[in-house]
Amino acid sequence: MDAVGLFFASSGRVGKRDFALAAMGLYAAVIASQMLTLQWVVMRIGVWPFAIAQASLLWLWFALHANRLRDAGRSPAPAVGVAVIDALAMIMLIVAVAFFVPAASDAAADSQTASLQNILLLYVVLYLIGAFGAPTEFDLLHVVLMVLVLIACTPVLITFALSLWAGTRPSAPAPVTAAPTNP
């Protein structure tokens, strides 16, 4: 399959090697797109570039995985399900980014608030490191915190698991089409 069809057509086939290379590039693009959620970026241009990038990358992910599953002789239904889960997770992330990042007009007035938010974020990160370090005992707060972190990471884990599973399936033989007969 050509490079354009590899990502944009969801009705083709793609082999294991091409899938692995395309998936690594796609995951690198997904990681790079997270830079669009930085506070200074969102304050200047909003969340729309991030939303558009995520929608585009989600379609590319779906097309790539649907093609790989089809090549393996499987239904693309798992790719559809994971794409829906990822879309819902991205919508929640976009809402969170839009809610927590102040508008550009309020930025000057909220500089102290932003500093407090950064300190709070640092505290939460350090607490998470301590909570998942080597706790000597688990209290209710630790358990709840671990469950919430696991829930937040679930879409990423499911997406990566499907990529690994789809990439390791052997290719099915190409369907044989009958030659047309002349009457």
pLDDT tens-digit series, residues 75-92: 999 999 999 999 998 888
Task: Check residue 44 and give its pLDDT.
Answer: 83
Burial of 126: CB neighbours in 10 Å, binned 0-12, 13-18, 19+: exposed
Rounded distance, CA 55 to CA 180, Å? 41
More confident residue, 91 or 143: 91
pLDDT tens-digit series, residues 144-157: 767 777 777 788 88
Rounded distance, CA 97 to CA 90, Å? 10
Q: What angle do CA 109, 92, 62 make, to 5 degrees?
A: 135
pLDDT band at 15 (very low <50, low <70, confident <90, very high): confident
Instruction: Kindly state the tokens that stand for 80.
Output: 């559809």
